[in-house]
Amino acid sequence: MQEQIWFPLIITLKIATLSTLVVAFAGITISYILARRDFRGKWLADVLVTLPLVLPPTVTGYLLVLLLGKNGVFGQPLFGLTGISLLFTWQAAVIAAFVVSLPLMVKTTTAAIEAVDRDLEYAAFTLGRSELETALFITLPLAKKGILAGLVLSFARAVGEFGATLMVAGNIPGKTNTMSISIYGAFQAGNNELANLLVVILVFMSLLSIAITAKLVNRWKI
């Protein structure tokens, strides 16, 4: 019983943490560009980033299978060069978690950056600060509440991810069975005791994330 609880918990935290780290870098970069740049095709970029948020997770997972499979756009050259196939690995689960949680980070962070007074940025420019310095020391710190909210939402989404993960990583005991997939498997097998316990743990993790976020936001109030 302990192994049926600890492995899904550890692999879920591992996947969610890694995907959130990548989401943090990619999401902040994309959000800044969308909030502070005007370019041809901006609306299309916004649509493509948002798409996984509205697509059924199984559709997102199927598209990832087409991209990451041995005959896929990314999977084929990777397999040809290294002999490595990403499908049905925990690394594929990280990619799935990243794809489905990125829109939450981008939407939240973009709104937070757009709310920052541009006059403060212009003042920094007149004092000789570069755009990168202004973004790092002025814009992003002022948007930190939105960034934090995006990170927590992305982490929570990665923790609870099911459909896309099942498509690309499968349900391999001791390898890719995350909390959500383990709950589904336990329910299908009629093991309600295990399913109930995993559900309680998952709910507790979600509540803890929300509580920590609320505390940090309150501490950052000006």
- The predicted model gives 106-129 an average pLDDT of 93
41-84 pLDDT, tens digit each: 999 999 999 999 999 999 999 999 999 988 888 888 888 888 88
pLDDT attached to residue 114 = 95
pTM of the model: 0.91
2-219: which CATH number, 1.10.10.10, 3.10.129.10, 1.10.3720.10, 1.20.210.10?
A: 1.10.3720.10
- The predicted model gives 2-31 an average pLDDT of 93
- The predicted model gives 200-205 an average pLDDT of 90
pLDDT attached to residue 217 = 66
pLDDT band at 1 (very low <50, low <70, confident <90, very high): low
pLDDT attached to residue 83 = 82
DSSP string computed for the chain: -HHHHHHHHHHHHHHHHHHHHHHHHHHHHHHHHHHH---TTHHHHHHHHHHHHHS-HHHHHHHHHHHHSTTSTTHHHHHHHH----TTSHHHHHHHHHHHHHHHHHHHHHHHHHTS-HHHHHHHHHTT--HHHHIIIIIHHHTHHHHHHHHHHHHHHHHH--HHHHHHH---TTTT--HHHHHHHHHHTT-HHHHHHHHHHHHHHHHHHHHHHHHHHHHT--
- The predicted model gives 115-132 an average pLDDT of 92
- The predicted model gives 3-13 an average pLDDT of 90
pLDDT band at 2 (very low <50, low <70, confident <90, very high): low
